[in-house]
Amino acid sequence: MSPRALIVGTRGSRLALRQAEIALAALHLAVPEATFELRTIRTAGDRSAASLSEIGGRGVFVIELERALLEREIDIAVHSLKDLPVEETAGLAIAAVLAREDPRDALVSRHDVPLAGLSASAAVGTGSPRRAAQLAALRGDLRIADIRGNVDTRIRKVESREYDAVVLAAAGLARLGWTKRAAEIFDFEQMLPAPGQGALAVQVRTDDADTFGTVLAVDHAETRVAVTAERAFERRLGGGCHAAIAAVATVSGERLRLSGLIGDPEGGRMFRGELDGAVDDPGSLGLRLAQRLMDEGASELLEATA
């Protein structure tokens, strides 16, 4: 008798399905004896056209997937890690973080015009306070406009002249084979990414040891270390969709370097710092950098945007 297929849940957007395919390919390669079945689940974030801050933040993309896991409708859920709230849901765990794609942000514009070439008052679409704050710091003369929809929809809104440009995750473009659509990919000095950006998380039930062990085979140690520091930074700040919080960590041998930022989405104050630490204690590094920025005055900004 062949083993039961493990049901893998995902959102139904083109990007989410592609990410699920990437996770499945990794699982098939690492655990060839296991069988998997893909199941699409539509989330509140996919159904609503309202801004993320109005409908409950990034967690709206994961609530139904987590419910399906807890109710045993699926065995595994694949998420963009940056969509997962930093406080884990009781009964669930991130069993694996896949090797990270490019964590940077990208600008998509008509005629491939870079940020510096956009005209004053050009409309740049983003639904992210983090991107809005950093765009305002780079080009205070632009009109930062809220935008919703998947990657395909946002690019179409540029092509239809509803927006002059949009800022998207470079990882999403890469996974869809659309990297050439980017007029510019921002370096970390220009724009720090969201904690966990570019990484895929594979979530399972904590009481399902067999599936946990299967999924653990695709966990990428270096990516896990980096995102642990980034998410600890965000967790200490208590950030959600209203706060402009950014962080990225890079591993070099036995050392870990974390860059973090807290900014005003309206383009006001911004606090940014960097800290080095050991790779064997990434959580502590994230907490220490967050505390340092709070001591420098970022706590007042967080209270104002709560």
Q: Which residues are catalytic?
A: 83
Secondary structure of 24-81 in HEC code, one letter for each residue: HHHHHHHCCCCCEEEEECCCHHHHCCCCHHHHCCHHHHCHHHHHHHHCCCCCEEEEEH
127: helix, strand or coil: coil
80: helix, strand or coil: strand
CA 175 to chain centre: 14
9: helix, strand or coil: strand
Could you give the CA distance from residue 74 to residue 70 in angstroms, rounded to a whole number? 8
Question: Which helix (H) or strand (E) element contains residue 263?
Answer: strand 255-263
Q: How many CB atoms lie within 10 A of CB 71?
A: 8
